[in-house]
Amino acid sequence: MEPAEAEFLAEKELVTIVPNFSLDRIHLIGGDLGPFNPGLPVEVPVWLAINLKQRQKCRLIPPEWMDVEKLEEIRDQERKEDTFTPMPSPYYMELTKLLLNYASDNIPKADEIRTLVKDTWDTRIAKLRLSADSFVRQQEAHAKLDNLTLMEINTTGTFLTQALDHMYKLRTNLQPGESAQSQDF
Amino acid sequence: MAEAYFPVGPGLGAEENFLSLDDILMSQEKLPGRAETNLPRLAFALGQGAASGDSILEGSKLEIPLWLAKGLHDSKRRIISVEPPKIYKEAWRTVFSADANVVDLHKMGPYYYGFGSQLLNFDNPENPEIAQTILQTFISRFRRIMDSSQNAYNEDTSALVARLDELERALFQAGQKGLNDFQCWEKGQASQIMASSLVQNYGKRKFTDMDD
């Protein structure tokens, strides 16, 4: 899966906006989106929020985890633990990128938030690589990693599965299985 | 960033993939061996004599490519006997077990893993040790490949891949691709429409050039 596809899936998450137009409830295939009244906050999926923001029809309210103190806490906890901590949203990386690119004026201290999220991402990727290395080194049969997000899996997935494929084939060499059929002339 | 075509990968293991270019190149590597019987009039084929009448005497040493060795190898009709090249022998095996990261696997035959797996087809009392060494070498070098492929973005990687053999280079490229895709996406280039790399190589006149 590519990063763009993960971003597409992330756009389904709900975020709060404050519209400046009014519209009755709209009925879409995925569900209803509530009536829009100027000045009253309403929850919509991210794809709609970004679209309205680009047309200057709303103001985005950052999700409650996108806040400097909260992210510092998360980052410090990630650095302390050896395993992966649960992230506030399974799409934190995509949401950060989308919201900070399109709505940075609505989000206080946007640059610090970007840095903090990047730090957390780097820590998690380093942990992932460490656990992949110990997995290969000890030739385990399977491993379980909790609290990984889709984007992290995508970035290292192809490499890891190919390496494990090769390792598996080299391991089957060790078994002196039935010899290949050879033709007798 | 979908690929335009999917090349057939090497079949690492007891059997090669018939259609894989990597396997074809790999089976061209030579093994030392000796002829067990007289081979009349075949000296020119094995690179040993110029005249078409020369024959190879029993017991003379030959360098045989792998594909020929596999075809001629037969425990009942002993035509040739082969032995592993020196990189799979005892001396090099201890080097690999000491520290596999320092070895320049590209120079030692760029298909160390594939060729080693094929060697196990010939009966040889050292086969289990060879198989074990190949596996342990792969495991020790894995960490370095992972780190270097995931951290070198937009740099010249030729120094990093110089010492890797072909299998490791393919892995390195897979890791680089994951990294590049992510960075591209983060910069926002993932949603830009760009000409496919295959089409750019055609060298056709572009639309803007036609106005001249």
* Residue B158 shares a structural domain with residue B182: yes
Mean pLDDT for all residues in chain B = 80
The whole-angstrom distance between B89's CA and the closest CA on chain A is 17
In a domain, B154, yes or no: yes
Task: Return the residue of A nearest to B118 by Cα.
Answer: A173
In a domain, B17, yes or no: yes
Tell me the range of A108-117, B62-71, B107-116, B192-201 where mean pLDDT is highest.
Answer: A108-117
Report the pLDDT value the prediction gives residue B83, as an integer from 0 to 100: 83
* Residue B94 shares a structural domain with residue B156: yes
d(CA A122, CA A125): 5
- Chain B interface includes A155 (CB < 8 A): yes
Angle (deg, nearest 10), helices A92-102 and A150-174: 140
The whole-angstrom distance between B69's CA and the closest CA on chain A is 13
Nearest CB neighbour to B128, from listed A169, A171, A174 = A174
Please tell me which residue, B141 or B77, carries the higher pLDDT value.
B141
- Inter-chain touch B135–A173, beta carbons under 8 Å: yes
In a domain, B208, yes or no: no
B183: pLDDT strictly greater than 80: yes
Chain B residues with CB-CB distance to A176 below 8 A? 127-128
- Inter-chain touch A177–B120, beta carbons under 8 Å: no
Give mean pLDDT in consecutive 10-residue pieces for chain A, a chain of 185 residues.
Answer: 88 93 91 91 93 92 90 91 88 90 88 91 90 86 85 88 87 65 45
What mean pLDDT do residues B21-47 have?
80
* Residue B159 shares a structural domain with residue B104: yes
* Residue B25 shares a structural domain with residue B105: no
d(CA B145, CA A167): 14
* Predicted confidence (pLDDT) per residue in B35-53, tens digit: 888 777 777 777 666 566 6
The whole-angstrom distance between B130's CA and the closest CA on chain A is 9
In a domain, B210, yes or no: no
Q: Which of A178-182, B92-96, B99-103 has the lowest mean pLDDT?
A: A178-182
* Predicted confidence (pLDDT) per residue in B54-88, tens digit: 777 777 888 888 888 888 877 676 778 888 888 88
In a domain, B207, yes or no: no
* Residue B71 shares a structural domain with residue B94: no
- Chain B interface includes A138 (CB < 8 A): no
Residue B105 near residue B144, CB atoms below 8 Å: no
Report the pLDDT value the prediction gives residue B194, as an integer from 0 to 100: 78
* Residue B169 shares a structural domain with residue B139: yes
* Residue B173 shares a structural domain with residue B91: yes
- Inter-chain touch B190–A151, beta carbons under 8 Å: no
In a domain, B199, yes or no: no
* Residue B180 shares a structural domain with residue B116: yes
The whole-angstrom distance between A23's CA and the closest CA on chain B is 30
* Residue B30 shares a structural domain with residue B112: no
Number of other CB atoms surrounding residue B23 within 10 Å: 22
Report the pLDDT value the prediction gives residue A181, as an integer from 0 to 100: 46
CATH code, B117: 1.20.58.2050
- Chain B interface includes A2 (CB < 8 A): yes
* Predicted confidence (pLDDT) per residue in A62-97, tens digit: 998 988 999 999 999 999 988 888 888 899 999 999
B206: pLDDT strictly greater than 70: no
* Residue B169 shares a structural domain with residue B110: yes
Task: Return the residue of A nearest to B76 by Cα.
Answer: A184
Report how many domains make up chain B.
Answer: 2
* Residue B72 shares a structural domain with residue B113: no
Domain A3-172 has CATH 3.10.450.50: no
Residue type, B157: T
- Inter-chain touch A174–B147, beta carbons under 8 Å: no
* Residue B123 shares a structural domain with residue B187: yes
- Sequence spans of domains, chain A: 3-172
- pTM exceeding 0.90: no
Task: Return the residue of B nearest to A138 by Cα.
Answer: B139
Chain A residues with CB-CB distance to B143 below 8 A? 133, 136-137
The whole-angstrom distance between A70's CA and the closest CA on chain B is 23
Q: Is the ipTM of this complex over 0.85?
A: no
Residue B47's domain comprises 7-83
Q: Exposure of B195 by Cβ count < 10 A (0-12 exposed, 13-18 middle, 19+ buried)?
A: exposed
DSSP annotation string for A34-84:
PPB-TTS-EEEEHHHHHHHHHTT-EEEE--TT-SHHHHHHHHHHHHH-SSP
Report the pLDDT value the prediction gives residue A176, as an integer from 0 to 100: 64
